[in-house]
Structure 1
Amino acid sequence: MSPLPSPSAGRLGGPPSVPALVRTRLRAAVRRPSSLTPEEVQDRALLLRLLSLLLQYPDAELTAARPTVAAAVQALPPSPAAAELAAFSEWCTAQEPDALERHYVEMFDLRRKSSLYLTYYLHGDTRRRGMALLTLARRYRAAGWEIGGGELPDHLPVVLEFAALAGPRAGEAPLRQHRRGLELIHRALNDADSPYRHVSAALLTLMPPATDADLRAVAELAAQGPPAEEVGLAPYGWGEFAPPDTFMPPEQAPPGPTRPASPPEGSR
């Protein structure tokens, strides 16, 4: 999925591109989607688009756009989400491209608890996951949107982009469905002391507050992992690089074609 410019949205009217974010006053609305004004819906779409960009693999195109993205973050009015994104942007802008790429792969490709493929947390490596991916792809097509870049429909940047394009109700439904997975991703990033924890924290400010049942389910998921019924797919061979207290990345979710084939330096 190419980070810039915004992909075609078919019948959907996409939010402004990243340069437009710099010129747009954006409020991080945290009210229920059904209560948002039209202006707040547009503001929310801009924030979701920015979150999508920041969670994409930092290829050469996105790395070159860091000054523009940083300016967009600086243009946000004060809010908890804006503070989190400012902290991440400061770190991201200061990183060498190779170091940024290695950190991204380590956090999201080599650690199953912070994988960005959302249906894994709900269904694990089961046949139900395949059906969930199909249902999500059909949702996108019904809205007139086609995924580019070869990513699976449950990849979080893709889900965020769809939420920005389709609006708070139908568009954000997949995010709400995977609220517990998002919480687990944030916990894993926080435990790893990854600066990406600021991005996941900003996203959670847009989600309904976690219930006691959510927190119990997340704790159980972190301890036991998701369902483990195998679907007959061969592993991708990343297990030797994963820390002993984490799972392997989801088997149905290989990295995109532009990511480096080798793992980060250092023994896992």
Structure 2
Amino acid sequence: MSVLKLVSVLLDYPQDELWQHRGELLDAANEASLPAACRVELTTFVQGLLDTDPLVAQDAWLQTFDRGRSMSLLLFEHIHGESRDRGQAMVDLIDAYRKQGFDLAAKELPDYLPLLLEFLAQRPQNEVQDWLGHISHIVGMLAARAGKRGSSYRVLFELLLELADGQLDLTAMRQRAGEEPRDDTPEAMDRVWQEEMVRFGAEAPDDNCKPATRRAPPSTVTPQVQP
């Protein structure tokens, strides 16, 4: 298993089957091509995840990535939000996948980070660095926010930055993350719900009602920036 495939698996929703592959995951984390410090951190992450009860690990994943938008694993969430440009970006990304023979399942969203990493695990190294370079500013903010929240997933985002080129300075991003209000608190979630709530009947808005895009179902990935 390649390092990118490993990070893809570890970033995705932790399905019960993950615990059946402990040896394979630990072997992949000890990849000789990684710097020693990265191998230690990655191995520690894998051990910590697999030493956790699956239900607890699954709840922790949901609390980290499925509450609020700032930690979303949907890359276009950070680039386009809910703008119309997001739809065309999705189409372009799907087309980029298909040109390389990488077809998606019907329910997979192309900009889901674990899916993108699964795709890149099959691509040559220069192409991998190009793609990762294009999304490094997003990954850097995810790393900074994860660090602020004390999430062990910080390790995976920082590893992706290392695989890109290791040149991104996280200092400014950590400062920015430290100044951001949390969007995963009950109060913040209530505000978002009130803003997005659709009214029907005489007070219904004239515009077409579009549901907010959330994360893909456990198993998928992406960026709007093509190499």
Q: Which residue is equivalent to 1:59? A: 15
| Contact 2:69–2:77 under 8 Å retained in 1 | no
What is the CA–CA distance in structure 1 between the aligned matches of 2:129 and 2:116, rounded to whole Å?
Answer: 8
| Contact 2:132/2:160, CA 8 A, preserved across alignment | no
Higher relative contact order by CA 8 Å / sep ≥ 6: 1 or 2?
Answer: 2
Question: 1:30 corresponds to which residue?
Answer: none
For residue 147 of structure 1, report the CA deviation from its aligned partner. Answer: 2.0
Partner of 1:210: 168
Residue of structure 2 in register with 1:190 after alignment = 147
Secondary structure at the counterpart of residue 205 of structure 1: helix
Contact 2:90 2:111 in 1 (8 A): yes
- Asked if structure 2 preserves the Cα contact closer than 8 Å seen for 1:147 and 1:158, the reply is no
CA distance in 2, matches of 1:162, 1:180: 20
Q: How has the CA–CA distance of structure 1 residues 242 and 138 changed in structure 2, closer, same or farther, with 3 Å as cutoff?
A: farther
Q: Which of 68, 92, 95 matches 1:111?
A: 68
TM-score after normalising by structure 2: 0.74
In the alignment, the residues of structure 1 paired with residue 101 and residue 82 of structure 2 have an alpha-carbon distance, to the nearest angstrom, of 29
Query: Which segments of 5 or more consecutive residues in structure 2 lack a partner in the other structure?
Result: 194-210, 220-227
Q: CA deviation at 1:87?
A: 2.0
Select the residue among 85, 90, 96 that pairs with 1:128: 85
Pair 1:251 & 2:209 matched: no
AA paired with 2:59? R
In 2, are the aligned partners of 1:84 and 1:201 still within 8 Å (CA)? no
Trace 1:42-191 onto structure 2 (pairs within 5 A).
46-74=2-30, 76=32, 78-148=35-105, 150-191=107-148
Would the alpha carbon gap of residues 95 and 166 (structure 1) be closer, same or farther in structure 2, given more than 3 Å must change?
same
Between 1:193-202 and 1:78-87, the stretch displaced more is 78-87
Q: Distance in 1 between matches of 2:106 and 2:29?
A: 25
Q: Which runs of 5+ in 1 are unaligned?
A: 1-17, 19-45, 226-238, 259-268
Larger proportion of helix:
2
**Shift of residue 161 of structure 1?**
1.2
How far, CA to CA, are the matches of 1:171 and 1:71 in structure 2? 22
Measured in 2, the distance between the counterparts of 1:89 and 1:149 equals 30
| Structure 1 residues 79-137: Cα deviation after superposition (integer angstroms, max 9, x where no partner) | 33212211211211210010010001111111321111111111111111111111111
Contact 2:30-2:43 at 8 Å conserved across structures: yes
1:166, 1:121 → 2: CA distance?
A: 24
What TM-score results when the alignment is normalised by the length of structure 1? 0.63
Change (3 A) 1:89 1:248: farther
Within 1, Cα distance between the matches of 2:218 and 2:153?
22
Deviations 1:179-201 (A, max 9, x none): 11101111111111111111112
Number of residue pairs matched by the alignment = 198
Rounded to whole Å, the distance in 2 between the matches of 1:185 and 1:248 is: 20
Shift of 1:59: 0.7
- CA RMSD in angstroms comes to 3.3
| Percent identical | 26
Aligned residue for 2:125, secondary structure, equals coil
Q: Quick one: distance in 2 between partners of 1:211 and 1:131?
A: 31
